[in-house]
Amino acid sequence: MKKPYIPTMLAAALAAVQLSAAPVRPPVNYDESKIPPYTLEDPLEFVDGTKLKSPADWPRRRAEILGIFAREMYGQPPPAPEAVVTEVWDVKENALAGYCIRKQVRMWFRKDKSGPCINWIAFIPRYAKGPSPVILFLNYRGNHELVPDADIPVQQAWAQNDRRRHITENRASEKTRGAMCDPNCASILPIGMLLARGYAVMSACYCEVSPDPDWTEKDPAHQQDPFAYTGVFDLWPKRDESRTDNTTALGAWAWALSRGLDYAETDPLLDAKRSVVTGCSRLGKAALLAAARDERFAVCVPNQTGGGGAPLAKRYYGENTATENVMFTHWYCKAYRKYAERPWETLTFDQHLLLASVAPRALLIQGFDSSKWMHTKGEYLACRAAAPVWKFLGRGTMPDVPYPDNYSTAAIGESFGYVRRSEEHGIAAHDWMWMMDFADRALGRR
């Protein structure tokens, strides 16, 4: 099979990243016939070639896999916080037409409440007969976009300018209050449906965790390095630039999701043991990483992650290791740059191993095929390669079906599955419906 040609401008682009310049995006392959052959590692085999003999061996193999991703891709997990101090500063007992208890919570990570702070919002079914299972996710532009409620403050952290979303001077806008309740939006939060199904919802804005500058940012003060390493990064020791496995932005966002679960464990209205972590696109990557690292998450449903999340990286198609290492330098550690070229030859791991590290807990991968960039067939193939782990651990597995059509649920099993759809990029009503149906089964609610 003919290997795709990668112009030498890739090396120049990667070098430009080192100089904090804005390089040209590397080439992308959209031709299935030009995907080079590749071999995937066996998730049920240790690096030394020893096969796992029983489920008792899995924790050691899982730790080995997480160690690989920490050293080679996502950086080392952030340290545990000194403290998790929360202040419930606003409670409305009959929000959302009376069906919801709404809480707004400030969270600090030092005992004296100094330093970075994250603002969580929780929507809890008012008529639940006991603690409610909770869905946690990070949002993009602020809690005020989730529902049209004037009591929710507009997000104040730095945000990338985007006139389409009324973000100017790097600040979110009152104009988008309640935007995620507009059915014409690509990403929505059908909060009434979620509450009616018995789920509580918790969210915070990822901008408050650490800023996410675009790779084309021209203002030197707001470029990916070092601006992305502010926010909660200020809690941790100064970065050692000689290291190739420093904590990354994706690691910080995943860490924040775990801190949200810390709060859920303290709220008597929430059942943290029945938790679902989700997110869309880059925040789907963060949700997947959070579930991989934190076994307290019972269910993980990453939505439309794109490259660097669920799709196979060795399958050179769409978003790839080259584009990831040029466009999103703060999402991945320096060690990952050595895989920018010819990943089908150089990579010694792939994303199916990250999926497998969630096992035996429940995982549903949600794909999106309206954009070839998203490489959702690579997600399906990663699922197929990870599926034996769930079977080995006695948790059932993904049904053995061909690549399913859009909107088909044939590839969704009891504890592991895959589903895809068309239309726009974002988390849509279909995605939330599939998520709750899957979580209901996984959590024994059916």
Active site residues: 281, 425
Closest CA to 416 of 392, 390, 446, 445: 390
Structure tokens at 244: 């190739």
C-alpha distances in angstroms, 438 versus 291, 306, 362? 16, 21, 9
HSE-CB at 18 with a 13 A cutoff on CA atoms is 9
List C-alpha distances in Å: 394 to 58, 359, 417: 12, 10, 15
208, 231 Cβ separation under 8 angstroms: yes
Place of tokens 């995982």: 363
What 3-state DSSP class applies to 138? strand
Pair 286, 300: CB distance under 8 Å: no
| β-bridge mates for residue 202, sequence order | 122, 136
Tokens 């070839």, residue located: 372
Gap between the Cα atoms of 126 and 124, Å rounded: 6
Alpha carbon distance 99, 238 (integer Å): 46
Structure tokens at 325: 């290492």
Exposure string over 108-123, b if 16+ CB within 10 A, otherwise e: bbeeeeeebbbbbbbb
Count of beta carbons in the 10 Å neighbourhood of residue 215: 16
Q: What is the CA radius of gyration of the chain?
A: 21
Residue 65 half-sphere exposure toward CB, CA atoms < 13 A: 28
Residue 405 neighbours by CB under 8 Å, 6+ apart:
none
Element (H, E) at 258: helix 249-264
Number of residues written out for the chain: 446
Burial (0-12, 13-18, 19+ Cβ within 10 Å), 283: buried
3 state SS of 438? helix
The three-class DSSP label of residue 185 is coil
Three-state SS for 222?
A: helix
